Structure 1
Amino acid sequence: MAAKKRQKVDVPVATPRKSTSDAFFYWDADTLVLNILGKPSAKQDVIGKVKGNQLKISVTAAPVAAKATEHMVRFLAKEFGVAYADIEVVFGHMNVNKQLRIKSPKRLPSVITQSVSA
């Protein structure tokens, strides 16, 4: 029996717009990877400014049993025009430092569009 010859396939790889070590976001194909600094128990839900390599997101929910993270994901789903299920919390369910993966966002907040053009 002859051995099958493996074929080399070139897979396109998304290149981040900035280095992932100093950017608060990068693209992985059509998925936006976002580093978050969360602020629970805020007066209003709002996307804030960039702080180092994180984007500050304030939410009104209290930090009890990861409810603030769940509320944040629901808020961001509306802001990015995606379904709740299209956002994955990679780490930080019960921490202010989080990383989210947002599949095929339909809209981008101005803080991201300004960073892309800069």
Structure 2
Amino acid sequence: MQKTLLKIKVTPRSSKNEVKELSDGVLRIRLTSPPTEGKANEHLVKFLAEIFNIKKSDIRIVSGFKSREKLVEISAKSIQIPTIKKV
């Protein structure tokens, strides 16, 4: 099983869910959910599972539970990397 670590910066309460950019090794993601009671973290896991086409159980937030900057581990046999446009 392959393990991949991603540095992610989340912007909660955005107008839509989207991968904004990959810059300096950090994946910037906008989410519509608020950063309260772990809702943004749950939404992040669900969103990552959708874009990488993997199960939510294959995604684990390693650090940054109460921060916008997170380290996320993906454990899956294979993941599909979506094309990210640099703005």
Instruction: Give the TM-score category using the shorter length.
Output: 0.7 to 0.9
Contiguous gaps of at least 5 residues in structure 2: none
For structure 1, the residue ranges without an aligned partner over 5 or more in a row are: 1-28, 112-118
Residues 65, 94 of structure 1: 8 Å contact kept: no
- Residue 30 of structure 1: CA displacement? 1.3
Q: How many pairs align?
A: 84
Scaled by the length of structure 1, the TM-score of the pair is 0.65
**Could you tell me how far 1:66 is from its partner in structure 2?**
1.7
Q: Secondary structure at the match of 2:36?
A: coil
Given candidates 72, 75, 94, the residue that maps to 2:47 is 75
Deviations 1:66-112 (A, max 9, x none): 2111101101101111111100100011110001011124311113x
| Structure with greater proportional strand content | 2
Larger Rg: 1
Identical columns (%)? 28
State the secondary structure of the residue aligned to 2:6: strand
| Alignment root-mean-square deviation, CA | 1.7
CA offsets 1:34-66 (integer angstroms, 9 cap, x no match): 000110001111011123231101100001012
Bigger RCO of structures 1 and 2 (CA < 8 A, at least 6 apart): 2
TM-score by length of 2: 0.87
